[in-house]
Structure 1
């Protein structure tokens, strides 16, 4: 069974951009719904665990993890909203729950709002890490409790405000889009496409710029350390040569020089640390690019080239980022690993540095 959309949306405004025909079979809609269902389940479970881990362990209640928790909340809401998005995907050219059309409208708005908040929070996390690594003194002054609350709220306020203003000015409306066969925007305008790009470009630049800055800074730092330890080793070698010319006893003592051994071990550790940091940064950047760049490329060209069939699948890729963020930012964290392991095993009493919330829950259980 095929679904064919017309060339022009009946409710489009005069400023609407040209659209193209989308012709997909109902089996393709089912396939997309199934794939998005897996993403939604992973996002609901994973992000719930991250929020629980921070709530249960005081060790995880740090300024950086405040942003990670905010990111998990955004991704959790995205995953929940995705359930209703899947319902719209399974609709046969119409919203399948006629008596609750407001759910479809809210779904369209929430998708843009939560994904926007997620992108901005990713940008805030990158800036947080940049300041923490390069300016540790500033870090303690900037990320105090009350300032932290404001900084965590900003990534939510900006995209939500932009979307509300866009809706109030009439450049966008939300509901069941018969052209896209999902709950989204009813019509696309150039102004709203510009709003989407503005919402995303600043956190995008923050993410790329911060991680490049961190990489250069860390690489320079470890290069200076290597140079320092290399000079120490040369000085020790020179000292060893002087002792050799003096006596056999001096040879024995210098051969077991602890400073030389420490310098060698530190050089090996630095090499491993540099590789680990490079890999982690690569995972973060590649994960972000892999999920969002294909979507924004097609978003930019879909009104000049007919790529609607590909866009039908690719528009679900940003949702994938909501299900893997907890892996990138939490599963690789040694402290998160310990707490999450205890949560998965339901051994809550073994969670290190239990929070007052966890202590209360454990006391109620006993």
Structure 2
């Protein structure tokens, strides 16, 4: 050994601290920029429509839609920061061409928005679980209380901002321009970059996803049992009405029971429809998030090359949710159509100050 720091060890340290940049062909670069630009346009229009729809339609001002609006806000912030992501990609190996703080801000905003999205979906799942399975108090139920909603939103944004602040607070990782991927994220040349990637992957993927999946499994199990119970009650009421000798009273009781059963059936059907639509959002987020989460944890050459494409798939989630509302949610669909065709008067439950427009 020539000296204490041999050439082989030195080369290893150099390659770890200064990872070789990922090279893309011109076609790959154009494809990624095109995808991000398309996501940006659809995301701005779609999420803007969601926010405006809840503002101008009283029927859409529900507790669940508070979280839907929060999700739309995070998605809108994500796509509004995409121009800087595109600038970083087009800068190639010349480095970040603008002021450094803008790249750091873009990276932090991206992490905050991704974290806020997944934890908002987790809070939606918890809220639906409480509403559907246990609580029957209407406006007095816990998910409908103002302090519950405010606390939930504070928690969502606090943990999201905390995740983006870990490099500044604990010195784990560094936000800014990453020369490996030509992007404004966390710097892969930082010695603790892999640790920060592992923290993000653990906190933003398996933990909330387990909560979401567990909540929806319990919800669907409850719906199944509730449907079976309603069918049994309906059969019991029918048999009771047939065997009773007091015709007039029995007819009245049967009619009352039938009305209650019909109302419960409609309520149960509505809850199932709302929960199913929200579940679609969760499935799409899992599909979009999974490739990126795998790339964060994997260390092979293939995962490094695939990371930018996984990031594009993750960004797609920012424009998918409004499309789900437009297709699956009848009232959102109607309000979207009224806004796009400039027929606000067709929205019957719009606020008074919009009725005369």
Count of matched residue positions in the alignment of Structure 1 and Structure 2? 335
Structure 1 partner of 2:205: 200
Q: Give the whole-Å Cα distance in 2 for the aligned partners of 1:139 and 1:9.
A: 61
1:8 to 1:184, Cα distance in 2 relative to 1, 3 A: farther
Please tell me whether residue 292 in structure 1 is matched to residue 289 in structure 2.
Answer: yes
Please show how residues 28-67 of structure 1 align to structure 2 within 5 Å.
28-67=28-67
Q: What TM-score do the two structures reach when normalised by structure 2?
A: 0.80
Give deviations 1:265-299, integer Å, cap 9, x for gaps. 99x98998798578546523421221111221222
Can you give the 5+ residue segments of structure 1 that lack an aligned partner in the other structure? Answer: 1-6, 243-249
CA contact (8 A) 2:277 2:329 kept: no
Please report how far the alpha carbon of residue 41 of structure 1 lies from its aligned counterpart in structure 2 after TM superposition. Answer: 0.9
Give deviations 1:71-126, integer Å, cap 9, x for gaps. 10000000111221122122222346x24332222111111111111111111111
Structure 1 partner of 2:226: 221
CA RMSD of aligned residues (A): 3.6
Please report how far the alpha carbon of residue 37 of structure 1 lies from its aligned counterpart in structure 2 after TM superposition. Answer: 1.0
Q: Give the whole-Å Cα distance in 2 for the aligned partners of 1:166 and 1:66.
A: 31
Give deviations 1:182-239, integer Å, cap 9, x for gaps. 2211126243123212243332222111111111111110111122223344556768
Structure 1 partner of 2:93: 93
Please report how far the alpha carbon of residue 305 of structure 1 lies from its aligned counterpart in structure 2 after TM superposition. Answer: 5.1
Please show how residues 188-337 of structure 1 align to structure 2 within 5 Å.
189-196=193-200, 197-234=202-239, 280=277, 283-301=280-298, 303-304=299-300, 306-329=302-325, 331-337=327-333
Bigger shift: 127-136 or 38-47? 127-136
Bigger shift: 270-279 or 205-214? 270-279
Can you give the 5+ residue segments of structure 2 that lack an aligned partner in the other structure? Answer: 1-10
Q: Give the whole-Å Cα distance in 2 for the aligned partners of 1:312 and 1:296.
A: 12
Structure 2 partner of 1:339: 335
Please report how far the alpha carbon of residue 321 of structure 1 lies from its aligned counterpart in structure 2 after TM superposition. Answer: 1.1
CA contact (8 A) 1:124 1:203 kept: no
Q: Give the whole-Å Cα distance in 1 for the aligned partners of 2:66 and 2:94.
A: 40
Q: What TM-score do the two structures reach when normalised by structure 1?
A: 0.78
Q: Give the whole-Å Cα distance in 2 for the aligned partners of 1:282 and 1:73.
A: 19
Q: Give the whole-Å Cα distance in 2 for the aligned partners of 1:265 and 1:141.
A: 23
CA contact (8 A) 1:232 1:263 kept: no
Q: Give the whole-Å Cα distance in 1 for the aligned partners of 2:105 and 2:275.
A: 40
Please report how far the alpha carbon of residue 347 of structure 1 lies from its aligned counterpart in structure 2 after TM superposition. Answer: 1.1
Q: Give the whole-Å Cα distance in 1 for the aligned partners of 2:292 and 2:285.
A: 11
Structure 1 partner of 2:105: 106
Q: Give the whole-Å Cα distance in 1 for the aligned partners of 2:60 and 2:129.
A: 19
CA contact (8 A) 1:131 1:138 kept: no
CA contact (8 A) 1:116 1:159 kept: yes
SS at match of 1:94: coil
Please tell me whether residue 75 in structure 1 is matched to residue 75 in structure 2.
Answer: yes
CA contact (8 A) 1:105 1:174 kept: yes
Structure 2 partner of 1:3: none
